Amino acid sequence: MKKGFSLFVSLALLSLLAFAFVGCGEEEKDVIGPGGGKDSGDGIISGFAGLKAGSWAELVYPDGTHSKYEFLGTDTYKGAECYLLEFETIQDGTKNINQIWINKSTGQGVLMVMKDENGVVMKMEMTPTTPQDIPTGETPVNSVKVGTQKYTTPTGKTVEATVYKTTTPDGEDETWISLQVPFWEVKSLLNGKVLYELYDFGTSGAKRDISKEEMENATPLVFPG
């Protein structure tokens, strides 16, 4: 499996956390995520910061790969209103665009669309039985809040992040989360080694790269089983 596609799958599943508790009012159709994303004081993040259409965040990996998350607002699929996100992965100069559609009323992912460096577009239907490792948005019970840290992106933007540590079979996981950042991800480390970190972010400017027409005409991708 290409790294670009595997990154998309993991990022897409991660992004579903924003929709596990969909509950914004009708007057807030361009915002996703209920609650104010406040820290309860015991290390648990309750609720999510609202994401406005056009919001984006870009991560960088040690090998130079960049992954950009974008929230594009809503669109309709098979008559249902859906939240629309895109993920852009650039690795070794090659760009792949990936898109996920999430039913607004159920929070269920319904469609994945992929566009490779050659402009080939494929799509895959998602069903309730499609594996979706959806986080709850709460800190795992075995995580420990160790404090806060200031983080400055390579582009000069500074945010305050809450730092959590978790002991896993692979060692010590460290996760930095900031409610100032769309999609909340700031930094991830394993045994002190950086897995990825925030490169840049913004609350406007995200643009759709896979049109609805391209989605509708995409080649269906069906996995056996």
For the segment 25-84, what is each residue's pLDDT rounded down to a tens digit? 333 344 444 334 444 444 434 333 467 889 999 999 999 999 999 999 999 999 999 999
Is residue 225 a part of any domain in this protein?
A: no
| Domain identity same for 194 and 161 | yes
Which pTM does this prediction carry? 0.76
Q: How many helices (H) and strands (E) does the chain have?
A: 2, 16
Instruction: Give yes or no for residue 95 having a pLDDT over 90.
Output: yes
pLDDT band at 8 (very low <50, low <70, confident <90, very high): very low
79 within domain boundaries? yes
Per-residue pLDDT band for 141 (boundaries 50, 70, 90) equals low
Three-state DSSP at 47 gives: coil
Nearest to 99 by CA among 89, 107, 111: 111
Q: Does 143 or 58 have the greater pLDDT score? A: 58
Looking at the structure, tell me whether residues 24 and 81 fall in a common domain.
Answer: yes
Percent of the chain with pLDDT over 70: 70
- Give the mean model confidence (pLDDT) for residues 134-152: 72
Asked if residue 15 belongs to a domain, the reply is yes
Please report whether residue 27 resides in a domain: yes
**Range of 22's domain?**
3-135+203-220
pLDDT band at 142 (very low <50, low <70, confident <90, very high): confident
For the chain, the average pLDDT equals: 78
Say whether both 105 and 177 belong to one domain: no
Q: 48 and 73 in one domain?
A: yes
168 and 189 assigned to the same domain? yes
Residue 140 has pLDDT above 90, yes or no: no
For tokens 């080939």, name the residue: 120
Domain identity same for 188 and 208: no
Number of domains present in the structure of the chain: 2
Q: Are residues 77 and 128 in the same domain?
A: yes
For residues 161 and 67, state if they share a domain.
no
Rounded to an integer, what distance in angstroms lies between the CA atom of residue 112 and that of residue 219? 12
Quickly state the pLDDT bin for 168 (edges 50, 70, 90): confident
Give the three-class secondary structure for 15: helix
Tell me if 104 is assigned to some domain.
Answer: yes
Residues 130 and 171 in one domain: no
Strands 56-60 and 66-77: antiparallel
Q: Is 89 part of a structural domain of the chain?
A: yes
Whether 93 is covered by a domain: the verdict is yes
Share of the chain above pLDDT 90, in %: 56
- Do residue 123 and residue 183 come from a single domain? no
Please give the structure tokens belonging to residue 91: 């690795």
102 and 211 assigned to the same domain: yes
Q: Looking at residue 129, what is its pLDDT?
A: 53
194 plus 127 within the same structural domain: no
